[in-house]
Amino acid sequence: MKAIHQNSTRNRRLGFLYTAPMGLWLTLFFLVPLSIIVTYSFLKKGLYGGVEWEFTFAAYRQMINPSFFRVFLRTLWVSILATTITMILALPCAYAMARSRHQVFYLGLIIIPFWTNSLIRIYAWIAVLSSEGFINEALRTLGIIQESLPLIYNQGAVITVLVYMYIPFAILPLFTVIDKFDFQLLEAARDVGSSKWQSIRHVLLPNIRSGIITAVLFTFIPIFGAYTVPLLVGGKDSYMIGNIIVDQVTKTRNWPLAAAFSLIITAVSTFGVLWMLVSTRKERRRMKTGRAIV
């Protein structure tokens, strides 16, 4: 690490001065709002939105409700499925990109849709899938179908679009770790007689573990909190926790319940981050002892 004069009090003060503005900003506009949510989840619901200052577990009791539980299970299931599909597509993709001589070109191709407005991207899928959309119109013109195929407003559409939205989140960290990987290790494994798949499974994958974990987290967590995709391409039976939260805020005006649901998502995310920190720390310790996994 490159810390100047670790013990100098003068520089201690300087470091603090440089960092204080951002620290204060994030404390005030991120940590304080988050603490307010924690507090609100234990308060009584106000009549017209807002809260009354009375301590209660009412919000948490309302959560124990079969219909909410169903949404929770569905959210979990959709997140796991979409993350798995994303990873299966993203791993070989990132591998091919890292080994390519046109890395920047491919990165650009991944980043362009990634940076394009998320609503435009969802809209593009509506234009492709809806009953008067591209696919249905094309099939009708070709005379293959008369009635429109139900391609949108169902669970399949939600998962497809979720994979579409979040696959760059997986490809980019995977690309970064695979790019740093020493490919001679793979050849060494091949030289001692392992097959291509064996060498990938036992040499490449363990060495890019940290990137895989990051990729899983960066797709799973936003999908778990997804709101726009199930709203715009899902049907009535594709509601996810994110939708419940927003409905509680904007329609039902039950802020404590929205806060309690938000805390669940926050807890899941924090747990994921801790898991990532612990496993990357382990990996760093192994790197220090100079052992790549072979």
Partner 1 sequence: MNGSLKPTSLVTPVKQPVGPYRIPKHHVFQDHRRFGFSHIMLLVVILFLFIPLIVVIVYSFNAGKSMRWAGFSFQWYAHLLFDSQELWRAFANSFIIAISSALAATFLGTLSAIGITWYRFKSRTYVQIISFLPMILPEVIIGISMLIFFSAVHIPLGMVSIFIAHTTFNLPFVFLLVSARLDEFDFSVIEAARDLGATERQTLVKVIIPAIMPGVFSGMLMAVTMSLEDFVITFFVSGPGSTTLPLYVYSMIRYGVSPVINALSLVLILSIMLIALISRRFLKTIAAAS
Between residue 27 and residue 86, which ones bind partner 1 under the rule CB under 8 A? 27, 29-34, 36-37, 40, 50
Size of the site for partner 1 (CB under 8 A): 109
Torsion angle, alpha carbons of 152, 154, 160, 162, to 10: 110
Quote the tokens at residue 5.
């004069």
Among 104, 205, 278, 292, binds partner 1 (CB under 8 A): 104
- In the complex with partner 1, the residue whose CB is nearer, 77 or 134, is 134
Q: Which helix (H) or strand (E) holds 53?
A: strand 51-55
- In the complex with partner 1, the residue whose CB is nearer, 231 or 291, is 231
From the CB of residue 55, how many other CB atoms can be counted at a distance below 10 Å? 9
- In the complex with partner 1, the residue whose CB is nearer, 149 or 186, is 186
| Residue 274 near partner 1 by CB under 8 A | no
Residues in 205-264 at the binding interface with partner 1, rule: CB under 8 A: 217-218, 221-222, 224-228, 232, 242, 245-246, 249, 255, 258-259, 262
| Residue 204 near partner 1 by CB under 8 A | no
Least distance from partner 1 to the Cβ atom of residue 30, Å: 5
Residues in 172-201 at the binding interface with partner 1, rule: CB under 8 A: 172-173, 175-176, 179, 183, 186-187, 190-191, 196
> Residue 56 in contact with residue 193, Cβ under 8 Å?
no
Q: Which helix (H) or strand (E) holds 265?
A: helix 255-288
**DSSP per-residue codes, 5-26:** STT-HHHHHHHHHHHHHHHHHH
From the CB of residue 174, how many other CB atoms can be counted at a distance below 10 Å? 25
Q: Which helix (H) or strand (E) holds 84?
A: helix 66-99
| Residue 6 near partner 1 by CB under 8 A | yes
